[in-house]
Amino acid sequence: MNIKVSQTNISDTKFIIISLYIILLILGLNFHEMWRDEYEEYLQARDSGAIFGLKNTMSQGHAMLWQSCLWIITRITHNPIWMKVLHGLIAVSFAYILLYKSPFKIWQSALMLLGYFLLYEYAIISRCYAFGVLFFFLFSYSYSRDKKLKLSSAIILFLLANTSVYAMMLTVVIGIWIFINEKFYLFKNAEKKQYLFLITIVLGIVLAYLQIKPDEDNSFPVHRVILPFDEYRFNVAITQFFSAFVPICKFQNQFFWNTNFLMNKMGIVTWYLPLIVFIIVTIPFVSKWRIVFLWLMGVAIILFFQYHTGFRFARYYGHFFILWIVCYWLMQSFYQINLKINNIIFAFIILIQAIGGVMMYNADRTKKFSTGYDAAKWLKKNGYSKNYMIASVDFAMSPIATELDRKIYYMQHKALCSFTKWDKKRLNSTYKKDIIEAIENDISQKPIIFIASHPIEYFEFFNKHSKVKNEFLFDKYKVKKIAYFPPGIEYYERYWIFEITRNSVLP
């Protein structure tokens, strides 16, 4: 009887925790203003000319799964709120797996769900990475349950590889680890179907790579480095490893997202701090060489990729932490290790995660993340949503293009677009004649709306020495600033809105 009561209490506790997580998730998704990267993939799916949105996957560096789901949604509705709903369901799914299927104690799972990545970065912000977390957790559960590679784990890894470039790289690592791990223990007497399972994983990786591999026409601004050795880039990369386990932002900064409270002015932390964190988080694995091997392989490939590309955002380096959870999960399931030092380290890390998560969640609640939605709402309210629109810079305009459900003339492409096309036709610079050409493309008699997310050097309004306030002449056109939306947490999403008319006489 006591055992039944105890099990009932545990079940009730888990239900309460996941219910509270769902409430936090609903509230967080409600007050979070989506930003350009969220809208961008939605637009790519919405305006794709190919089934399941596959035509556009190569331009955004991610594989097909999230884009395909958005493609299905956009065939039914153009309201991006349903992207949030889908993302929320994915987050609830990985929370359920963690809480009900993992070897962690209830309080440990609860703290992890309050962590920076599981509460905020991969839950509130609607991107493809939540799918990755779900499949990482599903794999950990499936593989530790079966204690060997089966079809279920192979299919999960196939899907995992097709969520993001980071998931694809870690799928390679996990696949190598499984092969080496089982080669000496299971494959000696293995059935042929186990090799077929490995082939399934390889096919998933190849499919993902073919989608992610940049096209020859790709112009996305990434400065890749391998040799000669770049010390600054290396320091940035190891700083990200530190931030993955101590994800507490520099909240005193106006633009604090993707920062760390111990960063200096160059955006790095002192080298010995990442080293100390690496030693601490590796200690739980040292007694099991197979887990150490998985951990070190995963860290090495992510660290190299961060150094190579220069990427420095939390959604990327969070995979250090997710990999750590996977390794700890497998170790606990296979070996049931219950050392005091391991428990202390695990508790310490997830407590720091929870502190960073709650602080960022609250910051997003109290501050505007992006003002793109507000700008689109203002344009609708004031009757401008159908006017001919010109905009620069293109990548900051996806919130407006999505919320107005339309295309905008982007100066970088000199064409009507919705999402950003990172091809070699994209212009990095625009000239006065280009703006005049864009204006003259409109044959209607309505005022033209010009939206700028950065100062336009040909507009007298932006001349710091000018006495012009809100109205000025541009060539033969009268330009009037009618609204301004300052940046929120996301720095680049600020919007000056101008009305352009053909009347060349100022009042």
Beta-strand runs (E) in 379-461: 389-392, 408-410, 415-417, 448-452
Residue 282 binned pLDDT confidence (cut-offs 50, 70, 90): very high
Amino acid (1-letter code) at residue 59: S
pLDDT at 220: 77
Backbone angles phi, psi at 218, to 5 degrees: -70, 135
pLDDT tens profile 245-257 = 999 999 999 999 9
What are 66's two structure tokens?
A: 């999230």
Mean pLDDT confidence for 115-120: 98
**Whether pLDDT at 58 is above 50:** no
Split at pLDDT 50, 70, 90, the class of 156 is: very high
**What pLDDT is recorded for position 3?**
45
Contacts of 465 (CB under 8 A, 6+ apart): none
Closest to 243 measured CA to CA, from 315, 296, 308, 328: 315
**CA R_g for the chain:** 25
Mean pLDDT of 5-29: 90
Instruction: For residue 442, give the amino acid letter.
Output: D
pLDDT tier, 296 (very low <50, low <70, confident <90, very high otherwise): very high
| Mean pLDDT of all residues in 13-40 | 96
Higher-scoring residue by pLDDT: 242, 4: 242
Q: List pLDDT tens digits, range 189-242.
A: 556 777 789 899 999 999 999 888 877 777 777 788 888 899 999 999 999 999
List the beta bridge partners of residue 498.
Answer: 450, 481
Say if residue 466's pLDDT is above 80: no
Confidence of residue 421 (pLDDT cuts 50, 70, 90): confident
Q: Reply yes or no on whether the pLDDT at 149 is more than 70.
A: yes
CA dihedral 120, 156, 296, 298 (to 10 degrees): -60
Q: Give the pLDDT score at 53.
A: 60
HSE-up of residue 119 (Cα within 13 Å, Cβ side)? 31
Amino acid occupying residue 62? H
The two three-digit tokens of residue 459, written as one number: 């507009």
The tokens for 401 are: 């293009």
pLDDT of residue 327: 97
What sign has the CA pseudo-torsion 321, 323, 325, 327? negative
Cα dihedral 127, 130, 133, 139 in deg (nearest 10): -110
Q: What is the mean pLDDT of residues 354-358?
A: 98
The alpha-helical segments, DSSP class H, found in 261-403 are 272-282, 289-309, 314-335, 340-366, 372-381, 398-403
Q: Are 370 and 488 in contact (CB under 8 A)?
A: yes
Average pLDDT, the chain: 91
**C-beta separation of 308 from 226 below 8 A:** yes
Q: Which two tokens stand for residue 209?
A: 């790579």
For residue 172, what are its two tokens?
């390679």
For the cut 70, the answer to whether the pLDDT of residue 179 exceeds it is yes
Q: Which stretch of DSSP H or E encloses residue 53?
A: none
pLDDT score at 253: 92
Of 349, 347, 330, 327, nearest in space to 276 by CA: 349
CB atoms within 10 A of CB 265: 5
Single out the residue of 350, 316, 293 nearest to residue 105, CA to CA.
Answer: 350
Q: What 8-state DSSP symbol labels residue 414?
A: T
What does pTM read for this prediction? 0.93
The rounded distance, in Å, linking the Cα atoms of 381 and 76 is 25
DSSP state of 121: I
291/288 Cα distance (integer angstroms):
6
Angle of helix 2-31 relative to helix 81-101, nearest 10 degrees, comes to: 160
Of all residues in the chain, the percent with pLDDT exceeding 70 is 93
Instruction: Give residue 1's pLDDT.
Output: 38
Answer yes or no: are the C-beta atoms of 235 and 291 closer than 8 Å. no
What CA–CA distance (Å, rounded) separates 103 from 91?
19
The answer to whether residues 40 and 403 touch, using CB atoms and an 8 Å cutoff, is no
Helix %, strand %, coil % for the chain, to 5? Answer: 60, 5, 35
pLDDT at 59: 53
AA letter at 159: L
Amino acid 189: pLDDT: 53
How far separated are the first and last CA of the chain, in Å rounded?
Answer: 87
What is the C-alpha separation between 157 and 474, in angstroms, rounded?
Answer: 57
State CA 396 to chain mean position distance. Answer: 16
Q: pLDDT band at 48, cuts 50/70/90?
A: confident
For 453, the token pair is: 């997310």
Q: Give strand pairing partners of 218.
A: 423
Average pLDDT score over residue span 79-98: 97
Cα dihedral value 176, 178, 180, 181, nearest 10 = 150
From residue 413, how far is each of 228, 376, 501 by CA, in Å?
A: 35, 21, 23
